[in-house]
Amino acid sequence: MSIRRGLLALLAQEPMYGAQLRSEFESRTGGTWPLNVGQVYTTLARLERDGMVEAAGAADDEGRINYRLTDLGATEVQRWWVAPVDRGDTPRDELVIKLALAVTVPDVDVQRIVQTQRTATLRHLQDLTKLKRATSDEAGGRGPDQRNELAWLLVLDNLVYAAEAEIRWLDHVESRLAREATRAPEALTRDTESSHGNRSTKGASR
């Protein structure tokens, strides 16, 4: 849904053709979520079907068609700007699913999964931090370039915070696993003592 509305937001500025929309989208998001032209044109076809966009004239000499917003599409963009993003639909997170399943499957070294992932995420965080520093040093353009640099820095900030949050969560997972590991023998001891006690009581009653 973000791709659909993202394309509408770009078309709110001026009519564009598919490859141009892809280029603008990737430029303003730092290429973090790359698109292919087929995906863009498929989305444009659906937007045209839904009455959100329309062709802004005939195809040019290279067969490219510029699309523009309809009134309905412009209304949809304005609604998107003012509405909060719906977080009710939890996105699938492979790491969360992996760990949730790992703790339920016997003979899986969950601790190793956590440590391996933490190392990878720390490395990713270091790369993001270097990229953010380099981008900040190079910033200072004017007009559209300045706005695109700001957009990319905002995306980088989000990626950095997400990596930091993942590391904190992995630390929490490791602590919880350690607590569960100490509780498990205690629970087994209590169950064993309870079982012995029940047998003793039955023997005495005879």
Tokens of 62: 């290279």
**DSSP state, residue 13:** T
What pLDDT, on the 0 to 100 scale, is given for residue 90? Answer: 73
pLDDT in tens, 103-161: 999 999 999 999 999 999 999 999 999 999 988 877 655 556 788 888 999 999 999 99
pTM: 0.75
pLDDT in tens, 51-73: 999 999 898 988 899 999 999 99
pLDDT in tens, 172-202: 999 999 998 887 665 545 555 555 555 555 5
Burial of 192 (0-12, 13-18, 19+ CB in 10 A): exposed
Burial of 24 (0-12, 13-18, 19+ CB in 10 A): buried
What pLDDT, on the 0 to 100 scale, is given for residue 206? Answer: 53
How far apart CA 69 and CA 136 sit, in angstroms, is 34
Tokens of 8: 């509408």
Tokens of 22: 């892809």
What pLDDT, on the 0 to 100 scale, is given for residue 141? Answer: 56
How far apart CA 84 and CA 82 sit, in angstroms, is 7
Q: Name residues whose C-beta falls within 8 Å of residue 151's C-beta, 6 or more positions apart in sequence.
A: 28, 29, 30
Q: Over pLDDT 70: what percentage of the chain?
A: 85
| Cβ neighbour number for residue 35 with a 10 Å cutoff | 19
Residue with tokens 């992996």: 98
Give the domain 2-82 fold.
Arc Repressor Mutant, subunit A (1.10.10)
